[in-house]
Amino acid sequence: MHRRHLLLSLASATCLPACGGGDQGGSDGSGTAVPPAPADLLDLTHVTLTLPVKVDGTTGGTPARVLKTTELLPSSRAPRGPESDWFRSVWIDGTGARGEAAVMLWCPVTGALSSATSDSPRTEFRHQRQTGVNDGWTIGAGSPVAMQLEMRPRQMPPQRGTVIVAQIHGWRMQDVSGATVNAPPLLLVQIEPRSAGGWQLRAKIRRSADGSIAGHDSLVLQTFASLDEAPWLVLQMAVADMQVHINGQTMPIGASWRDIGAYYKAGVYLDEIGSDPAQGGRLLMRRMVFR
């Protein structure tokens, strides 16, 4: 998408409706209504999904299982795709009656970690510009698409109470010795408790890629009183002209990020680990599109 058209799209967008189409649900044979499959609710054509379990299905340890795009989409072997305790369609009202559906993402604090350098588990999508290839667009050139999400928190982890729901993550960079290393996240968007009570959706942008300028700048995007009364949180973000454009506002990007590749991530990424498998982060997502 042309950069000008991308920014106009973000500026003119309002509250986003749920995605539809495809199989609109049926019955599981017992008379219970079945919600539409995840691929009918979210755009899964250019994402992978990291689960908080290893390939053998156990939690804890490394590496966490990653589902490729071809595994996420419906097939003759799995007509609804790979639904599980971590990733499945649900009715939003929590009953078996037909109504509005969403995809539930769940990550326990006991979840498997994606690598030895990861410090928290996740149930998280990673966008791929080219399906099947983990490449990154250059921050200085801007993002080829905007990411649009609509989500509602249902459970938060017990210690910090924070879930990272979206990222613009760095791809590759050179350290001071000239070695190629993984770059840190440029932007984190998280749901977190407010010091004055209630909750907030906050964006944090890292001032420099190499740590030469310490710290983050942040922007509160939305507040709400309680999880029980949490609204649908709309998030729209893109990178252009060395700025993050997010929900109609802009955050400047430091010059050290210009030549670093980046990619989008979205879902439930915890900021803690623990020993109780009933504790963790749970999120409903009814829209995820890249355009």
pLDDT at 27: 54
Going by C-alpha positions, the residue among 99, 223, 239 that lies closest to residue 153 is 223
d(CA 148, CA 126): 14
pLDDT at 125: 98
pLDDT at 131: 87
pLDDT at 174: 73
Q: For the ranges 13-22, 29-38, 271-280, which has the lowest average pLDDT?
A: 13-22
Residues of the chain above pLDDT 90, percent = 76
Going by C-alpha positions, the residue among 244, 253, 247 that lies closest to residue 222 is 247
- Any idea what the Cα angle at residue 71 is, between residues 65 and 72, rounded to 5°? 95
Residue with tokens 């340890």: 61
| pTM confidence score | 0.88
Question: What digits encode the pLDDT tens for the residues 35-60?
Answer: 999 999 999 999 999 999 999 999 98
Question: Is the separation of the CB atoms in 290 and 43 below 8 Å?
Answer: yes
pLDDT at 5: 44
Q: What is the mean pLDDT of residues 78-87?
A: 96
**For residue 4, pLDDT beyond 60:** no
For the four alpha carbons of 49, 11, 249 and 162, in that order, the dihedral sign comes to: negative
pLDDT at 14: 32
